[in-house]
Chain A
Amino acid sequence: EIVMTQSPATLSASPGERATLSCRATQDVTSNLAWYQQKPGQAPRLLIYAASTRVTGIPVRFSGSGSGTDFTLTISSLQSEDFALYYCQQYNIWPLTFGGGTTVEIK
């Protein structure tokens, strides 16, 4: 099983600041990496797939990068609605596995 590790566990930042979230896989997943946002009481929302492809309707301030084992989600300028929990997920091979999540909280 591929283990996904996200860091930091919690990121404290102010609106308007840049946020950088990291995700590392224990094996090469090529570019088969997705990022999700989840808010309390809601289902996860797909933001990015194929490591860097934004889903239609996702603001351009969200960007993804990386390949192989190291990936990054960048939020260029945090808006109030961006404070949430973020998960990465590899889909290179079953079992599909998620990272433990990064909480982006208001500083």
Chain B
Amino acid sequence: EVQLVESGGMLVQPGGSLRLSCEASGFSFRNYAMKWVRQAPGKGLECVSYISSGGGTIYYADSVKGRFTISRDNAKNSLFLQMNALRGEDTAVYYCASLRGLQPHGFWGQGTLVTVSS
């Protein structure tokens, strides 16, 4: 059974940092690109970052560029998102999802909630 399990979301103060993790199982993680997508409460979906299967290609949304860093450990079937200088507008459920190149692959995690508030 394919599973993507996010963790690391919590309440953090503005300016703080968090590291999200996404643990994959049930498929060949190393062969797939991955992305982080977030959804603010009651709002739509935003792709915040992308990493290719080997990690050589990385993209960020302008809204997080310079503050967030995506990485992966294919040996541990894990994806990460280091989030620094957090702002209130970063409050959202963060999902990890798999892709073939840029094409959706269909596997999503259940999401982890990040709340940025004092």
A interface vs B, CB < 8 Å?
32, 34, 36, 43-46, 49-50, 55, 87, 89, 91-101
Contacts and interface: CB of A to CB of B under 8 A. Distances in A.
Contacts of A32: 102-103
B82 interface: no
A87 B45 contact: yes
Interface in B82-113: 95, 99, 102-106, 108-111
A85 to B, nearest CB: 9
Contacts of A89: 45, 104
Contact of A44 (B50, B62, B103, B108): B108
A91 B104 contact: yes
A43 B45 CA distance: 10
Q: How large is the interface on B (under 10, 10 to 19, 20 to 34, 35 or more residues)?
A: 20 to 34
Nearest to A98: B45
Interface of B: 35, 37, 44-47, 50, 59, 61-62, 95, 99, 102-106, 108-111
A98 to B, nearest CB: 4
Contacts of B59: 94-95
13 contacts: A43-B108, A45-B108, A46-B105, A46-B108, A49-B103, A91-B102, A91-B103, A93-B102, A96-B35, A98-B44, A98-B47, A99-B44, A100-B44
A99 B44 CA distance: 8
Given A43-B95, A95-B61, A96-B50, A50 B44 contact: no
Contact of B47 (A49, A50, A95, A100): A95
